[in-house]
Amino acid sequence: MGKRATFAAGDPIRGGIPVIWPQFANLGGLPQHGFARKSEWQLVETTDGENENQSSVTLQLTDDHRTRELWPYHFRTELKVSIDEKSLIVELSAFNTGDEIFTFTAALHTYIAIADIRETAIRGFTGKWYLDKTQGGNETKDHAKKLVISDETDRVYLKAPKKVEVEDRGNERRVEIRATGFKDAVVWNPWLEKVTGFIGLDTEDYLRMICIEAAQIGSPVELKPGLSWSGAQTLAIV
């Protein structure tokens, strides 16, 4: 969590896993990152797993007059979060409950806590193409054996690997990030110059965070009436 993060209604939370839906960034006519991350979801189910170390919760967001003013479609989205001693699984599902086709982009905007970004490396993106949003969206191939963040970073990896790993040397741990259903991934850190431009982030918050997001951006999902889509991301200590 950002040191100045708040839980005020209608404000995005700087930390955790904001749900980006039905629009990533400004790729459409909706407000930045759509409306799901600023909406109040309803609790629909809680379950305990096969042992006391596992549990899950399911949340739901459906269309109402506020969403239809922004986006004129009928939908239901569900977020299932499962946790055990060493892993966190977040699954996002979208259902078309209306009679019109709609398209969407999405992401799980995961803030990963690290000891120090300067002592952190990301492995798994070698050889993958990405859109560099700090350079106007230029498409670039990642040739590095590992990604070390040393300045503002905002990359959309197209056809991303299904598994990447964060080497958090300051905390003496590695975090494995696995994705299913999502085709892309985002890596983001605002760095020193821009971190204070985000409400909820403090001057030095960029040092103790890296955002790695399972995403569906390059190929928007087209959902016909009565059909559904789902994607999931697993964070695990390895």
Query: If you count them, how many residues does the chain have?
Result: 238
Apex 19 CA angle, 180 and 167, nearest 5:
60
Burial per residue of 187-204, b for 16 or more beta-carbon CB atoms within 10 angstroms, e otherwise: bbbbbeeebeebebbeee
Average pLDDT per run of 10 along the chain, which is 238 residues long?
85 92 96 95 88 88 97 98 95 98 98 97 98 96 97 97 97 97 98 90 95 98 98 96
* Backbone dihedral region for residue 127 (phi beyond 0: left; psi -120 to 50: alpha; all else: beta): left
Q: At residue 236, what is the residue type? A: A
C-alpha 191/C-alpha 203 separation (Å) is 9
- What is the predicted pLDDT for the residue at 130? 98
Q: What three-state secondary structure class fits 208? A: helix
Question: pTM for the complete prediction?
Answer: 0.95
Q: What three-state secondary structure class fits 30? A: coil
